[in-house]
Structure 1
């Protein structure tokens, strides 16, 4: 790891040295800064949301977009940090291991490695099919776009909830340019990043960029009962990763360009995989109280699971050490070529991801739940697209192919394995379930979209996509207890009960129709219908019913009304969208009998989003966003039955459980489900805000910024258990930035979560085992310095 520090440091220092070697050119290029307005103006940006370049105010889609300079002003250095600045977007995560984005309440909270998210993530025009590969360091960014609502027509299946697109700075700039940034933050967080690029020869350019970050954890180890239950010594929530990216761009005559990319990133021995023990009403049995649906229903906050006393959300009592090791490599090519009557786009992507992860799943110093996974993920995708313009008519058609392979394993020990061990006649001593799988997924699709000007001010947009999914899984599961091993199930055993249940071969279609009215150059009104789709998948557990081994694909019909407006001098920009969702076969996630499962249900949601970008005076920017949403999921399965080991001999059995006289309790929960649940991470109201003021002086520009977001009460799980309810909270950030008169040097001092708000960013309701949670970082503060050329 130290050698990689040296490598990345060398890249940055070399780039810095090149700054001074090119001092004269830099001074000529940036002699004067724009004096009338702030260099960071939000809300006006060119995007590629429709796979063609357009100003965001002219695209009939609910979009939030940020340039690289805007992201820097917001202090965003990780892919997941954009959530505070996008209406309707939230993050559900406990570690870099798995990243779950939620848009308008649409998400997939299951943490298993082989599932895909309904909020598609694209990186430099290529789909990232693994939720293991979404989190990471964000650096040298050209733009980030967030598209809300189904985007299946142009971007494919699994964009039911929307799309997040990260676009890196390419090698299109022939002038030698770049930057270097170093920073330090609370919890010993150290960061170094830089980029350099320019011309190699006539028609050939390059760019290389890298970033490295290390940090200590903010959840500190603590003994649950000194002398009896000691700490594992691990601080959680730290960082230990680096990334390097290189690209070459070649001109193909006057008609085309070819971009070649290679990207590598690593996380090495990251201290993660632990939680706090949250919202448990401890009973005499040693287990937590539950409701009739088998959900833990405490509301008292974090406790020490051994003593029952109140505890800090930033204390780690676990006995098992967690960790994450992850490598990601991406090779990609993008070809743009003007054929004369049409423009060709071809994007080829290869992705390799390897991950090893371990966690203490119970947030206690007891051996209740141990969990570990490995995953080897391979992806190939190819997109071919033709587009053209004609009078009153714009069109594009294309074909797409995606091949994903994931070979993985999981090892679950403790209480979740006890039921399986007892059911197979084993003695229940140190039970563990070992699952191995090999999942192969292929998808091909054909798509097209047209824009036709019905009149000077009226445009009809219509598009469609047909997608075909094929999946096949090879699966084995075995339980080990007391030195003996018994096979629990396999894809063959499920297929014997229901032939074909281990395979999926489904075709479906996505569609879009939008009617747009532009009464003037600065106003857009639109009404649209979008049909989004997400493919089905499997629940790889030997104890699920055969009917639930496979869950079906989901369909979302979205009806939207929107308006975008700006005044003549662009000092006021407004965007508003109202939507209604009809969700068929929503893939609802829950822990059922201690097994993570997905089952289909129907759902509805209605909401409104508003964004305002104001410049009330020169150098003063105000961004405001607000959302309102109401939602309902018809039915979500929860616990039905469970087997628990006796923790406190002689104590009364937990509610809904009976002592079976063999050292176990048999539990039966009468409700076994929740009706009319709210979608997860969908507060009734939310507000986000940015206030930025800068002033030019003889010694440079000084900018002060205050930003953040407020969220109403919300459930962090679709099961809506009382213990997963997050009360309303606000998180705010502040920064002060100095930039030199020539725009070459800048220094920023900042604070994140400056009011030290305590809030959860993840919960998992484990019924009588309580709720495990991960709290977001407390107040942090830091400084960074940048040199550009």
Structure 2
């Protein structure tokens, strides 16, 4: 449930006590096979195959078998159990990956993500193409801290590397079937064949379907369901003993409802018939999440006497359509929907040389990529929802005009303010109140805009006002009443209002890098690496006035106000209809008063922008092996993310492009295998400086819009991971992470109406819990028949965190998750079956608040899955 942000430690202690009745754990551990010692995991984090425990980088590596046991289906699931990592995504087409508090929340195409996602060594430039089903996966490596040297740009927070299984030299077929509540149906078919002495093939076909876990009270469409299909094919050819040619291809289809976001405003919930974040919902905008994606790559690896040559050539593309209900309610006075259409193509080429001698390991590389994209954003309103927006803006600007003392209003939470605005709006719609009839809020908003833009003075001249009379001399309330002649009927009719912004991009990036590890002694290594990156971007933004306001005047005398506030005369105003309603009389053409939230006064906005950024990112690492069991390291590393462009709007005083990001991270780490490899203990302590982070925020007065600003931040934290093979049958593991972040500089967008009061200096970063704790235990025993039984449990507790950038007081409560699994494997290993339950205690957990709906006072929230249960069955032949 949603509670106040101030949670006592006593409450958290009680939550942790739920472990006393069950074996509970959750951790990103390496492998599930154990026999009184922990299995070695090989990773490629340093562009060469190495034992995880010998790599001086903080890495969480999760094998495919372990992900299956933990019920992990995607990267969002993985983030819940990985220390220092948050992936709280309600939609796979707009994911956000947060490593150690570093993330980019921009859902547009003007910027790049701060966490690099790689699939089989190929970088995915857009988040909409990064979330792939984790079926037939060898492992996932999560590298924490800036990885600018080895993984290049856009790895300021870290890198996530998904490695799929390669074809093997055998003939195997595996069928995995999953069924569960809410209509859950998943099928994975894996076929591997040896086609000749040196040619092997592998095909994977996966489907995943699930119904929504709640009903729509307001329509026949659903939200929050799943429906994906993924097909992979790969060929491995070994023309010589020293050469390997690996071709991979993947095609994916997604066709489902988008995120289930429900209003948290009590008045709106009641008007929707009792909708609730944790019960049934009420949406009036059909939700759509469609994607067709294709990717292929060719990896050639050749071993020579002194080095290994690797070439990775890749091409990928996708078409995506994401449509969402932004207000989380079916109230027609709050109708607000959005749609994003994306087309992307990406080509990349990397050449790499790896070599090693007795005292030196080295890597040299060249890379180039080009990304071409188109992005269209549509926003859907009605004239009624514009009135709701104007009421909320008016209430925030002057609560005393609505009878609310400023001191009382200042003490309200954001949700309470939104609820008050909804009550006022409901009263207006029901018949109005003397001071605020229907349409008055938009009329007030429009009149102030006309005065600010100078159009009100032009209108007075058109009406024949005497020389010297300006809009500033007119009684404001009387002029607002004049405008209501046209606007009030328009508001009550809920006229559709749609706005569109179109972007194109052509991004090129080239880099050269080198990384060298010297063995200074038998126990001490020194690693020095550097990468030079050059980025060029061409970008366009296009928008125009697509809607008009029915400007009309009621007619009558309007008071003229003198400098001292007294009435100095009257100005006769003729009744003037809009041309849209009465062309037979003198009228005011509505197109003169076109308005768009994106254009900021520019009738036809079209900009062609280009910019370039370059950077040298480096790392220096000193590691020391105290003995065969313990290694420590000290690392100084840098990360770089290219700058970009504001995708939505041009505004005077706001630079259309923004600066690049830079992160410098100092880290001290420990990796150890103790007690004859029965205990694995890894730890890291780090501190980083984050310069020019790119922060997307909804700002602007009186019309809000999305802008990317630059800010600085810092973070300090620690991570601890423990794995203990307690016996031949019992494996116990856990991890803990602690992180403190804060803004140290925050760019104030004065052109968007911000003041120093809007600064977030000293506030923590969004989406970053201070503490995170996981436990894991797995018990494995044999039956008399030779079959094997595995009991497993996963437990996670995550601290509270700030939910939205624009409101640091809106906090997502701490939560706990408990997953349980009972598995059986036949003696022949041909058959496997399992019963499982996720969120076993059916916790009501909010994943996030806010979003664009907060602009009109209708902030929604989305929840984690309720209790999910089901069964898996696997047959191998």
TM-score, structure 2 length as denominator?
Answer: 0.75
Paired with 2:866 and 2:33, the residues of 1 have a C-alpha distance of 34
Aligned to 2:294: 329
| 8 Å contact kept, 1:476–1:490 | no
> Cα offset for 1:76?
1.6
Counterpart of 1:396 (choices 358, 363, 368) is 363
Aligned to 1:378: 345
Q: Deviation per CA, 1:729-758, whole angstroms, max 9, x where unpaired?
A: 111100000001121111010000111111
Aligned to 1:276: 262
Counterpart of 2:612 (choices 501, 505, 527) is 505
Asked whether 1:438 is paired with 2:548, we answer: no
> Cα offset for 1:668?
8.7
Paired with 2:768 and 2:178, the residues of 1 have a C-alpha distance of 34
Aligned to 2:250: 263
**Greater Cα radius of gyration, structure 1 or 2:** 2
- Cα gap change, 1:41 to 1:538, in 2 (>3 Å): farther
Q: Deviation per CA, 1:139-179, whole angstroms, max 9, x where unpaired?
A: 111111111101110111100001111111011x1111231
| 8 Å contact kept, 2:652–2:751 | no
Question: What aligned pairs does 1:351-750 form with structure 2 within 5 A after superposition?
Answer: 351-365=316-330, 366=332, 367-414=334-381, 430-482=496-548, 502-593=609-700, 594-636=704-746, 671-699=757-785, 700-723=787-810, 725-750=811-836
Asked whether 1:105 is paired with 2:101, we answer: yes
Paired with 2:712 and 2:533, the residues of 1 have a C-alpha distance of 22
Unmatched segments (≥5 aa) in structure 1: 1-35, 223-230, 283-302, 643-666
- Cα gap change, 1:273 to 1:610, in 2 (>3 Å): closer
> Cα offset for 1:311?
2.8
Q: Which structure is higher in strand share?
A: 1
| 8 Å contact kept, 1:430–1:482 | no
Question: What aligned pairs does 1:193-212 form with structure 2 within 5 A after superposition?
Answer: 193-212=188-207
Paired with 1:752 and 1:763, the residues of 2 have a C-alpha distance of 23
Aligned to 1:3: none
- Cα gap change, 1:686 to 1:43, in 2 (>3 Å): farther
Aligned to 1:647: none
| 8 Å contact kept, 1:180–1:194 | yes
Paired with 1:675 and 1:364, the residues of 2 have a C-alpha distance of 34
Deviates more, 1:238-247 or 1:311-320: 311-320
Aligned to 1:18: none
Asked whether 1:74 is paired with 2:70, we answer: yes
> Cα offset for 1:487?
9.1
| 8 Å contact kept, 1:591–1:639 | no
> Cα offset for 1:274?
4.3
Q: Which structure is higher in helix share?
A: 2
Paired with 1:503 and 1:488, the residues of 2 have a C-alpha distance of 25
> Cα offset for 1:719?
3.7
Q: Deviation per CA, 1:58-88, whole angstroms, max 9, x where unpaired?
A: 1000001012221221122223211122101
| 8 Å contact kept, 2:519–2:526 | yes
Deviates more, 1:611-620 or 1:586-595: 586-595
Paired with 1:37 and 1:331, the residues of 2 have a C-alpha distance of 32
Paired with 1:638 and 1:507, the residues of 2 have a C-alpha distance of 26
SS at match of 2:90: strand
Aligned to 2:876: 788
- Cα gap change, 1:202 to 1:395, in 2 (>3 Å): same
Aligned to 2:7: none
SS at match of 1:107: coil
TM-score, structure 1 length as denominator?
Answer: 0.83
| 8 Å contact kept, 2:146–2:156 | yes
Aligned to 1:7: none
Paired with 1:273 and 1:544, the residues of 2 have a C-alpha distance of 31
Counterpart of 2:59 (choices 63, 87, 91) is 63
> Cα offset for 1:457?
0.5
> Cα offset for 1:488?
6.6
Aligned pair count reads 696
Q: Deviation per CA, 1:122-151, whole angstroms, max 9, x where unpaired?
A: 011101111101223111111111111011
> Cα offset for 1:636?
4.8
- Cα gap change, 1:72 to 1:501, in 2 (>3 Å): same
> Cα offset for 1:681?
2.0
| 8 Å contact kept, 1:243–1:266 | yes
Paired with 1:350 and 1:392, the residues of 2 have a C-alpha distance of 37
Aligned to 1:50: 46
Asked whether 1:769 is paired with 2:769, we answer: no
Paired with 1:240 and 1:131, the residues of 2 have a C-alpha distance of 19
Paired with 1:623 and 1:219, the residues of 2 have a C-alpha distance of 35
Unmatched segments (≥5 aa) in structure 2: 1-31, 391-441, 456-485, 550-589
| 8 Å contact kept, 2:35–2:725 | no
**Superposition CA RMSD, Å:** 2.9
Aligned to 2:269: 304
Deviates more, 1:213-222 or 1:512-521: 213-222
> Cα offset for 1:388?
0.5
| 8 Å contact kept, 2:343–2:374 | yes
| 8 Å contact kept, 1:412–1:433 | yes
- Cα gap change, 1:281 to 1:187, in 2 (>3 Å): closer
Asked whether 1:179 is paired with 2:174, we answer: yes
- Cα gap change, 1:128 to 1:63, in 2 (>3 Å): same
Counterpart of 2:313 (choices 324, 345, 348) is 348
- Cα gap change, 1:149 to 1:54, in 2 (>3 Å): same
Paired with 2:141 and 2:859, the residues of 1 have a C-alpha distance of 34
Question: What aligned pairs does 1:93-132 form with structure 2 within 5 A after superposition?
Answer: 93-132=89-128
Counterpart of 2:241 (choices 250, 254, 259) is 254
Paired with 2:748 and 2:271, the residues of 1 have a C-alpha distance of 27
Paired with 2:757 and 2:266, the residues of 1 have a C-alpha distance of 20
Aligned to 1:12: none
Paired with 2:599 and 2:347, the residues of 1 have a C-alpha distance of 25
Paired with 1:184 and 1:61, the residues of 2 have a C-alpha distance of 39
Aligned to 1:32: none
